[in-house]
Structure 1
Amino acid sequence: MAQPTDKGRAMPICVFDIADDGSTTVPSNTDLTGPARYRWWHFDLSDPLLAQWCESHLPEIPAGALLQSETRPRCDSFDGGLILNLRGINMNDGQPAEEMVSIRMWVTDAVVITVRLRRVFAIEDIRQSAQAQMAPPNPAGFISELVTRLTGRVQSEVASIAKLTEFFEADLEDDETPIPNELTQSRRRVIRLRRYLDPQRAALNKLATEALMPPKSQPALRELANRTTMAVEELDALRDRLVAVQDDHDLDVARRQARNSFLLSVGAGIFLPISFLTGLFGVNVGGMPGINSPWAFPILCISMTVLALILVFAIRRMRWI
């Protein structure tokens, strides 16, 4: 697909003029807006010329928001437009899903600008729809479709963690089951997801009230915000459940260690007096009783056995074992 080019200017990943019916054309000029319903620009943050392009085409504050290396979800109105930062599940190969990818946006009634740092599959889906002449017909529809795709993937990821947590809880019924290697990783996944989903919930709630979004799209956005709220609440519950699973495993390990230590202490209590006797009668000095008697050794062994039985009986009477 051909892209508009201009020497010394940023090269977008894609750019489309999108009509009211969702049909698209690739513009041949580098103007910010076009003759269609709206123009969509999609950039990579690593483009060295992106900063120059933003400074020459956009107000200072939206330009700075698009160029931030680190973002958190936000939704702020500015001069008739909308500064919108969202996060989505990381579906890039070899990267953890909980390291959520960010999408930076500047939206007006005539233009949508999106900037990514890593590949965002929800944006790629919209890009494929645009190539198939089925793009969202207006900026509000673009935002709604993007939020819908991001929220759906978030719910799927939370559901997968919930299923794994149920497996961990079922394992607790077997005292011999070791601590799962995935338990700590799952706890980290929950923490990282919640870090971004909580502010994203607030951003979506605010988005549903923005003037740029038509009244007919606001109920759907409120529903998406509610689904994000439910995901955050589920993550809170999962965090507590995973902590409980970890505590149960830690308690089981502590109980086993205490039991083993107790048994060793009981064994030492039984054999310590016997060891004292063997040490005493093993002294190689004159005057030891029984040196010249062939019955001395059997008598000593029987005496130590009797002593051991007496100690075991005494320990059981004290209910130590």
Structure 2
Amino acid sequence: MKTRLVQKGDFTMVEDIHETLTPPESGFYWIDADVDDLVLLQPLFHLHDLAVEDCLSEEEQRPALEIYDTHYFIVLNSIRFDDEEIFLRALNIFLGKHYIITVTRQKIQELRAIKPQLWNEEVNSPDRFLYHLVDLVIDNYVSVGDRIEDKIEKLEEDILMNTKKTHLNEIIGLRGEILWLKKMLVPQRDVVATLNRKELRLIDNQLQKYFDDIHDNAVKIVDTFDTLRDLMGNLREAYQASVANRANEIMRIFTALTTIFMPLTFVTGLFGMNFTNVLGILEIPHADIYIFGLMGILGLCMFILFRKKGWI
């Protein structure tokens, strides 16, 4: 657990957690904690039992905003995409009048990225800290959405160039993750809408206007993932069409080859019978050479004709 006194973006480490119980003359306290630290923090800040229970639960948490007497409890989902799998990590936030507590199970990149923003913007209140943190979380979804779209385009190009069985597994897996994300994005959008519209005494009224911009981005992200879901459906149709075209191409080649060998089969059937004289031809010297030559010419002519027609 790390405790910092934030004054106009400057950080001062606090060694004694009990100092944070008294509001500072300027600025606010930021307590960056693990779930295990809640045993100490809950009685100090009178954190609500239900909120603490949600933090300690190992089940997947949906974004939510709970309003209690002395603090708000906010759950957001931080997103991470490593080009193979999408991860959501719960970011639990307790917002008080002079403090903000962030509780996580794993490292979350937004908590590292927010530090220079606090310094640049000279943040001096916990509600403004919350604004910048929510903004980073939502912006990260935009970045991940762009990377997923790039992956879909590359996958579509690979399918059109060289269809493989593994492509279907990639399509099914990526589509499932997009649908899963879509379910989590809707409640997160609603949380941002609540921060934007509802009268919240711990958030400055003028600051709420800035949440309107974040809400617009959240709505756009939901629409973006709707579009990505549709693209995955189109991609699956493209895969199925490519497989069907490939099967048709193979059947066309086999049909052409069969057609080429049909006259050759006729010739061998006609002159391959066990007679000493077939139409008087077998008495001709070197008749077998002429027959092989005829078969070769027939096969070559049909091959050239099929190539000219574009059938093979």
Q: How far apart are 1:224 and its partner, in Å?
A: 0.4
Identify if the C-alpha distance between structure 1 residues 41 and 190 changes in structure 2 by more than 3 Å, giving closer, same or farther: same
SS of equivalent residue, structure 1 residue 104: strand
SS of equivalent residue, structure 2 residue 161: coil
Is 1:263 the equivalent of 2:253? yes
SS of equivalent residue, structure 2 residue 107: coil
Which structure 1 segments of 5+ residues have no match?
Answer: 1-11
Give the corresponding residue for 1:140.
127
SS of equivalent residue, structure 1 residue 119: coil
Give the conservation status (yes or no) of the 8 Å contact 2:9–2:124.
yes
Identify if the C-alpha distance between structure 1 residues 27 and 303 changes in structure 2 by more than 3 Å, giving closer, same or farther: closer
Is 1:248 the equivalent of 2:235? no
Identify if the C-alpha distance between structure 1 residues 29 and 42 changes in structure 2 by more than 3 Å, giving closer, same or farther: closer
Q: How far apart are 1:187 and its partner, in Å?
A: 5.1
Give the corresponding residue for 1:121.
109
Give the corresponding residue for 1:109.
97
Count of matched residue pairs: 297
Q: How far apart are 1:89 and its partner, in Å?
A: 3.3
Identify if the C-alpha distance between structure 1 residues 255 and 23 changes in structure 2 by more than 3 Å, giving closer, same or farther: closer
Give the corresponding residue for 2:161.
177
Give the conservation status (yes or no) of the 8 Å contact 1:18–1:135.
no
After TM superposition, list the pairs within 5 Å mapping 1:263-282 onto structure 2. Answer: 263-272=253-262, 274-275=264-265, 277-278=267-268, 281-282=271-272
Which structure 2 segments of 5+ residues have no match?
Answer: none
After TM superposition, list the pairs within 5 Å mapping 1:19-98 onto structure 2. Answer: 24=12, 26=14, 28-30=16-18, 33-36=21-24, 38-45=28-35, 47=36, 50=37, 52-53=39-40, 56=43, 57-69=46-58, 70-90=60-80, 98=86
Give the corresponding residue for 2:186.
198
Structure with higher helix content = 2
Within 1, Cα distance between the matches of 2:137 and 2:72? 18
Give the conservation status (yes or no) of the 8 Å contact 2:34–2:105.
yes
CA shift digits 1:267-317 (9 cap, x unpaired) = 21341453365267546x5767466553653565577579879999xx9xx
Give the conservation status (yes or no) of the 8 Å contact 1:15–1:40.
yes
Give the corresponding residue for 1:4.
none
Within 2, Cα distance between the matches of 1:99 and 1:145? 22
C-alpha RMSD of the superposition: 4.4
Q: How far apart are 1:63 and its partner, in Å?
A: 1.1
Within 1, Cα distance between the matches of 2:56 and 2:19? 20
Within 2, Cα distance between the matches of 1:176 and 1:38? 56
Q: Counterpart amino acid of 2:161?
A: T
Within 2, Cα distance between the matches of 1:274 and 1:126? 78
Give the conservation status (yes or no) of the 8 Å contact 2:89–2:106.
yes
Identify if the C-alpha distance between structure 1 residues 215 and 268 changes in structure 2 by more than 3 Å, giving closer, same or farther: same
Q: How far apart are 1:266 and its partner, in Å?
A: 2.9
TM-score under structure 2 normalisation?
A: 0.73
Give the conservation status (yes or no) of the 8 Å contact 1:17–1:35.
no
Q: Counterpart amino acid of 2:50?
A: I
Q: How far apart are 1:227 and its partner, in Å?
A: 0.4
Identify if the C-alpha distance between structure 1 residues 73 and 95 changes in structure 2 by more than 3 Å, giving closer, same or farther: farther
> Identity percentage over the alignment?
21
SS of equivalent residue, structure 2 residue 219: helix
CA shift digits 1:26-64 (9 cap, x unpaired) = 15243662332643321123x4xx353355453211111
Give the conservation status (yes or no) of the 8 Å contact 1:44–1:115.
yes
Q: How far apart are 1:168 and its partner, in Å?
A: 6.5
Alignment partner for residue 228 of structure 1, among 218, 222, 246?
218
SS of equivalent residue, structure 1 residue 112: strand
Within 2, Cα distance between the matches of 1:217 and 1:265? 72
Within 2, Cα distance between the matches of 1:247 and 1:61? 46
SS of equivalent residue, structure 1 residue 90: strand
SS of equivalent residue, structure 1 residue 226: helix
